[in-house]
Every structure is written in structure tokens, then in C-alpha cells.
Amino acid sequence: MKVAVVGATGLVGTIMMKVLEERNFPVDELIPVASEKSVGKEIQFCGKWYPVVGMEQAVKMKPDVALFSAGGSTSLEWAPKFAETGTVVIDNSSAWRMHADKKLIVPEINADAIGKDDKIIANPNCSTIQMVLALNPLDKKYGIKRIVVSTYQSVSGTGKKAVDQMFNERSGVSGAMAYPYQIDMNVLPHIDSFLENGYTKEEMKMVNETRKILRNENIRVTSTTVRVPVKGGHSESVNVEFEKDFDLAEVRNILSAAPGIVLFDDPSKNIYPMPIDAEGKDEVFVGRIRRDESQPNTLNLWIVADNLRKGAATNAVQIAEYMSSKGLI
């Protein structure tokens, strides 16, 4: 199997290759793809060295699957060109997520939606993935009416430039700015650009993608997304109102049994999820589980995950694994 990683030299692309290697995905030939300035560099994968190639050459090589993490404009231009040659594209940008004819997939939830004619598959937003993975089994049992979510998102979600900015500020070094303000010793209630309704694109991604993945346009969702001075791992405070009442012990049992979820919830021993514990792991960690005492049928949760792994690279590789197992690649 020929596997292309588009954006191979970026933060997510690098982790995509690491995850492919860790999970023993059947890669016979790796095709690392990046911008022209990186063409000719060599990347090591599974003990072999592979030269970085440009987009046009990669398309001509007709990979079986291409994992994209190169931004929305690149994906809009190049994903269809790969798909035309028969390549299955799994795209990590926001470019295709809300297209009516493109599937938006979290494998543990809706992989069954993928068919043999699907050549461009959308990987959801990192903050959406971890939230819906935790909420999906509860939705099946109790029926979600409304979600209120506030996020605490790490700088790695922006990219290397943002990580560098934070550490430069921490060291007192001047350098390039990924954000309009200082991020170290600060929080920014601003992720992606602002829209006419006063929300950011990131906030509306969480609204729209949640409905699409859970296959329920009637779920009411409101979101506030915040950047915090943490290197890796996103955290979320989630308040969810259900159609039916719930038992907290049953909620914990449901989450404990759910694939991809780790219950980390014993406040009496100071056990609750933190990004420092989730970094480098593929699971989504859930804790601080408690009833909202201000209104009926409402639950509070704290959800944490590594945004570069399950929030991006691992989810994309899991989609490829599913499609390979079903003979769709």
C-alpha cells in the first residue's frame, strides 16, 4: 500500500507518520509530501529514508491513501486531483467538513457512513472529536437536547509558530507572533477568525460538526473557545442537557465501557484529567462528572485529549484503518 502524508514536515504530519508506525499500518511505500521549499529533504519512517516530494509528483505516484494536513486552501485545490486518480483522501482541514456530500468521521461513532464511492473523507476539528467521543454513548442512552462547551486549547493547535511564541515569551526572547497578543501568562478568548454573529469559526465548527457527526440537527450547541498557555492537549468544560434523567453511577459505567474513553474521576484523591497527562496518548479522558443542580437532566463533564493525536493524526489513521479493513482502500 502506498501512503502519502501531505504536510509531512508540519506538526500534525510528523505525528501522522509516528502514529502510522506505532499502529503498524500496512505501509509498503511512504510518500512524504510538502511545499517546494522542503522537496528533496529526507524523512525516516520504519527504518527507511524517503525523499519529500511536491504535490504534482505525489499525484502522479497514485497513492492508495493520502493523509492531508496542509491547510484548507491546499486541500480544496489538491484533494480532488488525488481523488481523480483513485486515491482516498483523509483531510484534516476544515475544507470539506460541512460539504453535504462529504463524510465527517469519528470512527468509533459513524465509520459505517463511509461507502466505496467516498474518496474525500473529512477529519473533524480537534475540539469536536474529543467532545463527541465522550458524549455519543450518553446521547444513545439519554438523548442530548443541548450542549454548552467552553474550551481550554493548547498552543500546539495553532502550530509550531505558536509553540515557539509561547516559549520565546517564557524565555524573554523576541520572535515571530502567531497571535495578536502575548499568550504566555495569558488566555485568549479567540480561536480562528470572528464571524458576523460574534462567534469565531472554531466555535461554529463545534456547533455544526457536532450535529453532523451525531446525526442530529436538532441538538442545540453553544461554544466559547479559548487559547491557553499549554504546549499540548485540549481541555473542555461541557454542560449537557438530556431528554431523559440519568444516574451518575450508570453514566460512569457507560463511559468506562465506551471505546477510546478513559474514566479519570475521583476528586477525593485529586484524580481528574489534565492535558499534561493526556499528551502523547490516543485516548480521551473524562472526569469531574457531576449533576448540574441548577436544572433537571443536566450533566457537567471535564474532557481532555491530545489535540495532535486523537484530535488530528490518530483519528485520521483510524479512518484509514477502518477503510482498509472494509476493502475500501
Task: Report d(CA 160, CA 219) in Å as an integer.
Answer: 35
Q: List C-alpha distances in Å: 15 to 52, 168, 259, 274, 278.
A: 16, 23, 22, 21, 15
- What pLDDT was estimated at residue 42? 94
Q: Are residues 157 and 255 in the same domain?
A: yes
Q: Provide the domain limits for residue 239.
A: 127-307
Q: Are residues 25 and 151 in the same domain?
A: no
Q: Are residues 149 and 281 in the same domain?
A: yes
Amino acid identity for residue 75 in this structure? S
In the beta sheet, which residues pair with residue 240? Answer: 147, 299
Whether 190 is catalytic is: no
Point out the catalytic residue in the list 46, 99, 190, 234: 234
The answer to whether 304 touches 152, Cβ cutoff 8 Å, is: no
Task: Report d(CA 113, CA 103) in Å as an integer.
Answer: 7
- What pLDDT was estimated at residue 184? 98
Q: Are residues 54 and 183 in the same domain?
A: no
Phi and psi based region of residue 269 (left: phi greater than 0; alpha: psi -120 to 50; beta: remaining): alpha
Q: Which element (helix H / strand E) includes 5?
A: strand 2-6
Could you read off the pLDDT of 35-54 as tens digits, one per residue? Answer: 888 898 999 999 999 999 99
Whether 126 is catalytic is: yes
Q: Are residues 101 and 24 in the same domain?
A: yes
Q: Are residues 284 and 142 in the same domain?
A: yes
Q: Are residues 91 and 28 in the same domain?
A: yes
Helices (H), the chain: 11-22, 55-60, 72-84, 107-110, 126-142, 160-171, 201-213, 248-257, 275-278, 314-325
Record the pTM: 0.95
- What pLDDT was estimated at residue 80? 97
CATH code where residue 157 lies: 3.30.360.10
CATH code where residue 320 lies: 3.40.50.720
Point out the catalytic residue in the list 46, 99, 126, 190: 126
Could you read off the pLDDT of 130-178 as tens digits, one per residue? Answer: 999 999 999 999 999 999 999 999 999 999 999 999 999 999 999 999 9
Amino acid identity for residue 57 in this structure? Q
Q: Are residues 213 and 247 in the same domain?
A: yes
Task: Report d(CA 55, CA 31) in Å as an integer.
Answer: 10
| Structural domain total, the chain | 2
Q: Are residues 102 and 133 in the same domain?
A: no
Please identify every stretch of the chain with a pLDDT value under 70, giving residue numbers as ranges: none
- What pLDDT was estimated at residue 40? 87
Question: C-alpha grid cell for residue 270?
Answer: 485529586
Cβ–Cβ contacts within 10 Å for residue 210, how many?
Answer: 23
Question: Long-range contacts made by residues 52-59, C-beta under 8 angstroms, separation at least 24?
Answer: 52/8, 52/9, 55/6, 55/81, 58/4, 58/6, 58/31, 58/33, 58/82, 59/85, 59/87
- What pLDDT was estimated at residue 113? 96
